[in-house]
Amino acid sequence: MGLPTKKLDQIQPGMVLEADLYDPNGLVLLRAGTLINERSIRALKCWGITEAPVSLSGAPDTATAARHRSHEALSEMLDNQFALSNREHPAVQALYEICLERALQQH
């Protein structure tokens, strides 16, 4: 049995993602522990996600919050580096994920 989910229109900023979210190709869209904000809700809509496992617990623990801030900063940096790329192309998506994973491992 999976984690209980909420419909996207019920998800609000401040909620915490309880499990990794993947696209149909298996690429990670958002990691468990992500603190949901307006940007992540817009991204979920763009990706066609209709529901997600979230909790109402408010702020995640400090380690999770630090990982989230690091992940967001690295994502912003990569978004700038990939700004002129077709992010919908599977090869570009895969390269972006590889770059993000490697950057996260270094931090």
Summarize pLDDT for 32-81 with one digit per residue, the tens.
Answer: 888 888 888 888 898 888 999 988 765 445 555 666 667 778 888 888 88
CA 95 – CA 87 distance, rounded (Å): 10
DSSP 3-49: ---EEGGG--TT-EE-S-EE-TTS-EEE-TTPBP-HHHHHHHHHTT-
| Arithmetic mean of pLDDT, 22-32 | 83
Mean pLDDT for the chain? 81
Q: What is the pLDDT of residue 1?
A: 47
Do residues 70 and 107 touch, judged by C-beta distance below 8 A? yes
- Residue 93 sits at φ, ψ, to 5 deg, of -60, -45
